[in-house]
C-alpha cells in the first residue's frame, strides 16, 4: 500500500543554478527507479537558515512530495547523507485528512478571516 511522503532537503548555498538542477534531477531519478508515483518537486530557492548548519547561514530549499512504499526512503536518505551537497534533509509521512476534518478546518479559517476583516 502506498503512502504519501513529503521530503524537504537543503543544499549548499554556493551551488550554481545548473548544479541545483543536477542535484534535484539526481534525486528525482533515484525515486523514479523505485517506482514512486505522483512526484512533485518545488525549489524554494535560497533562504536564511534558522541557525548555522555546517558553518552555512543560507541554504537552497527543495521540497519533494510523492507516493510510495516505506522501504524506498532508506536508500534515498542514505544517498543524501553521503552527499556533500545536501546539508540537511527530513522526510515525513503525510497524514490523509478526512474530508469532514478538512471542511471543518476550511470553515474555521473562513470565520477567522471574516472576523479579521470586520
pLDDT tens digits along 58-94: 999 999 999 988 888 889 999 999 999 999 999 999 8
**Other Cβ atoms closer than 10 A to 5:** 21
- Confirm whether pTM is higher than 0.95: no
Amino acid 100: pLDDT: 58
Number of domains in the chain: 1
CATH of the domain at 33: 3.30.70.60
User: Domain range spanning residue 54?
Assistant: 3-117
Distance in angstroms (rounded) separating the CA atoms of residues 72 and 34: 6
CA angle 41, 34, 46 (to 5 degrees): 25
Q: Would you say residue 109 has pLDDT above 60?
A: yes
Task: Name the burial class of residue 114, with classes exposed (0-12), middle (13-18) and buried (19+) by CB atoms within 10 angstroms of its CB.
Answer: exposed
Distance in angstroms (rounded) separating the CA atoms of residues 111 and 114: 5
pLDDT tens digits along 18-57: 999 999 999 999 989 988 888 999 999 999 999 999 999 9
Amino acid at each position: 500500500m502506498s503512502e504519501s511522503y513529503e521530503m524537504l532537503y537543503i543544499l549548499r548555498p554556493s551551488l550554481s543554478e545548473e548544479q541545483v538542477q543536477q542535484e534535484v534531477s539526481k534525486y528525482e531519478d533515484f525515486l523514479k527507479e523505485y517506482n514512486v508515483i505522483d512526484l512533485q518537486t518545488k525549489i524554494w530557492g535560497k533562504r536564511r537558515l534558522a541557525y548555522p548548519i555546517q558553518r552555512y547561514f543560507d541554504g537552497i530549499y527543495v521540497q519533494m512530495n510523492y507516493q510510495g512504499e516505506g522501504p524506498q526512503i532508506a536508500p534515498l536518505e542514505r544517498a543524501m547523507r553521503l552527499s556533500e551537497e545536501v546539508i540537511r534533509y527530513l522526510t515525513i509521512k503525510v497524514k490523509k485528512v478526512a474530508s469532514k476534518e478538512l471542511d471543518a478546518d476550511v470553515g474555521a479559517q473562513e470565520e477567522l478571516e471574516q472576523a479579521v476583516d470586520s
